[in-house]
Amino acid sequence: MRDNEQKACSLANQKNKIRERYKGVSIDEFDIIPALPQEDIFAVENEQRGTVYARVSTDDPRQTSSYELQKKHYHDVISKSSNWKLIQIYADEGISGTFLQHCDQFKLMIEDCNKGEIDLIVTKSVSRFVRNVVNCIGYVHELLALPHPVGVFFETERLNTFDPKSEMVFSFMATLAQEESYTKSEIMFASIEVHFRRGIFLTPTLLGYDHDEDGNLMVNKG
């Protein structure tokens, strides 16, 4: 709660600074550029077959909640859109997207795309799709090159791979997603190394053992 309050306070301060900066300036002196209307990918005339891909990379309860919300959100959006048929929700839980060896649902989705059963994949963001930039770009190009092309819509970035103008932005976002994954891994390994140097071993809870005040394992005498 405190973090949310600090963010709200910071945002309010920024708004006040902007108001003070332009206080007394006539609106006629500004060139107002309206925002471009966002594409509604679900506004189509012909019937489309959509599917959803959701993934969380850990078994953390907070991410599990996000995972369930992802599935419900997209199920509701596609199911309520006219001319759209929800084929299936593919979801990998507790799986990293950097390497796809264990992303069984992702691989099944690609197989179904190759069978011509899907028109569009909807997913939360580039990082929720595939974090490895080579695989990410490769799969998108592979899907677009199918006899029955399949697009991918990334909701957070508002990118639709059917749009040729999205190519550059998509490549950039895929690179960022991979770098974010590697950075998190490096931080985690560095933390483990520091603990080891201090003689603190990161062991999971073991039946019959407890940790003493220094973090060492000791036999549970209870």
**Alpha carbon distance 86, 78 (integer Å):** 6
Beta carbons of 56 and 94 less than 8 angstroms apart: yes
**Phi, psi angles (nearest 5°) of residue 112:** -65, -35
Angle separating helix axes 133-144 and 104-114, nearest 10 degrees: 20
Among the residue ranges 121-130, 151-160, 195-204, the one predicted with the least confidence is 195-204
Token pair belonging to 92: 């990998």
Query: What's the pLDDT score for residue 195?
Result: 61
Can you give the pLDDT at residue 114?
Answer: 94
pLDDT in tens, 68-113: 777 788 778 777 777 888 888 888 876 554 456 668 888 899 999 9
Q: How far apart are the first and last CA of the chain?
A: 39
pLDDT digits (tens, 9 = 90+) for 150-194: 999 988 888 888 888 877 777 766 676 566 655 655 666 566 666
Q: Are 103 and 94 in contact (CB under 8 A)?
A: no
Q: How confident is the model at residue 149 (pLDDT cuts 50, 70, 90)?
A: very high
| Mean pLDDT, residues 23-36 | 72
Would you give the DSSP letter of residue 39?
P
* Residue 221, number of CB atoms within 10 A of its CB: 6
In the chain, pLDDT over 70 holds for what percent of residues?
62
H or E element in which residue 11 lies = helix 2-21
- The type of residue at 211 is H
Q: Which residues partner with 218 through β-bridges?
A: 210
Residue 51: its H or E element = strand 48-56
Please give the C-alpha separations between residue 187 and each of 10, 181, 183, in angstroms, as whole numbers: 28, 10, 6
Place of tokens 């394992």: 217
Average pLDDT over residues 185-209: 63
Which position has the higher pLDDT, 123 or 192?
Answer: 123
Q: What is the pLDDT of residue 201?
A: 60
48-176: CATH class? alpha beta
| Mean pLDDT of the residues in the chain | 75
